[in-house]
Amino acid sequence: MSTGTLRKNELIYEGKAKKVFATEHPDLIIQEFKDDATAFNAQKKGQIRNKGVINNELSAHLFEYLETFGVRTHFVEKISEREMICKKLDIIRIEVVMRNVAAGSLVKRFGMREGTELPIPVAELYYKNDALGDPLMNDEHAVVLNLATLEEVTLLKQTAWKINAILREYFLSKGLKLVDFKLEFGRHDGLILVGDEISPDTCRLWDLETNKKLDKDRFRFDLGDVEEAYLEVRNRLLGSPANA
Ligand code: TMP
Ligand code: ASP
């Protein structure tokens, strides 16, 4: 599809980290990445310099990489530093979290020790609902809440497992441990596509040697070197800007 001359129309949605614009093409939107950062259901707010540029680059790269393995995503084309064209999705209000190592809410909820390698990956479902604080739920909850059919929930989890296997290996090759990450999905033209973004905002990534956190946890918990962490991930995946 030719997207070269696509015009950006009205703002249709503004989220915490991105803006979504309509285009003249009814099936396509433009997703614009902001430097704004929030945590703990927007109780903490701030900015991370250049985050929007880096997350746009990283998401485009990771979506393209996943597509080469047959994973269908909403990504169409990166068109500027902060913008990408995506297929318009009817968003499924389920967040799928995949975990390989104990961290974050898993540690809080079950009292596990942070850094413990999980014997098998764990898929979790959260109800995407800010007013309720995105509660954890199971497959049947998702069905009775009318978010998806049982078959669709199964497909989301299978896709998340597949993405985890692909990305875990990929990050490992870049000296990064994929601790956990969150995926969103949506319906488009009878298919379910991966949506949103895949970036240090939505993944926990630790340096393989030192376990240094190179993701949004540096912002969440005021660990310092936030911008540097995002840049480090970017440079490991895409090369330093001089030779990018
Ligand atoms: P959690 O340990 O806080 O449940 O987070 C699990 C993963 O999901 C982690 O990689 C960060 C990501 N995540 C988001 O992308 N958005 C969110 O709103 C939350 C709470 C987590
Ligand atoms: N993005 C989420 C928020 O502010 C939470 C997080 O990523 O920790 O609400």
Q: Against a cut of 0.85, is the pTM above it?
A: yes
In the predicted structure, residue 1 carries a pLDDT above the cut 70: no
Q: Is residue 161 a part of any domain in this protein? A: yes
The CATH number assigned to the domain holding 37 equals 3.30.200.20
Q: How far apart are CA 129 and CA 16, in angstroms?
A: 14
Across residues 183-202, what is the average pLDDT? Answer: 98
* Cα within 13 Å of Cα(146), Cβ side: 0
Minimum CA distance residue for ligand 1 atom 5: 104
- Phi then psi dihedrals of residue 54, to 5 deg: -70, -45
Round to whole Å and give the CA distance between 61 and 84.
11
Distance of CA 151 from the midpoint of ligand 1 (Å): 24
Last residue of a domain, one of 59, 87, 115: 87
Of 102, 92, 100, 103, the C-alpha closest to 125 is: 92
**Domain residues for 70?**
11-87
What does the pLDDT average to over 141-168?
A: 98
4 inside domain? no
Q: Which ligand is nearest to the Cα of residue 204, counting in written order?
A: 1
Same structural domain, 171 and 99: yes
For position 197, which CATH number holds?
Answer: 3.30.470.20
- How close is the Cα of 25 to the center of ligand 1, in Å? 32
pLDDT of residue 59: 98
C-alpha dihedral (160, 164, 102, 105), degrees to nearest 10: -30
Please write the tens of the pLDDT for every residue from 57-94. 999 999 999 999 999 999 999 999 999 999 999 999 99
> How confident is the model over 199-208, as pLDDT tens digits?
999 999 999 9
How big is the chain, counted in residues? 244
Rounded to whole angstroms, how far apart are CA atoms 212 and 148?
37
Q: What percent of the chain has pLDDT over 90?
A: 95
127 vs 96: CA distance, rounded Å: 9
According to the model, what pLDDT value does residue 190 have?
97
Average pLDDT over residues 185-195: 98
Residue 175 falls inside a structural domain: yes
Q: Which atom of ligand 1 lies closest to the CA of 201?
A: 15
Is residue 216 included in any domain, yes or no?
Answer: yes
What pLDDT is stored for residue 2 in this prediction?
Answer: 61
Query: Considering the chain, what is the average pLDDT of its residues?
Result: 96
Ligand 2: atom nearest CA of 38 is 4
Average pLDDT over residues 214-238: 98
pLDDT, position 120 = 98
Q: Are residues 108 and 120 in the same domain?
A: yes
pLDDT at 75: 98
Q: Number of structural domains, the chain?
A: 2
**pLDDT (mean) for 36-65:** 97
Domain stop point among 63, 87, 111: 87
Per-residue pLDDT at 183 exceeds 60: yes
Give the model confidence (pLDDT) of 156-171 as tens digits. 999 999 999 999 999 9
- Nearest-atom number in ligand 1 for the CA of 103 is 2
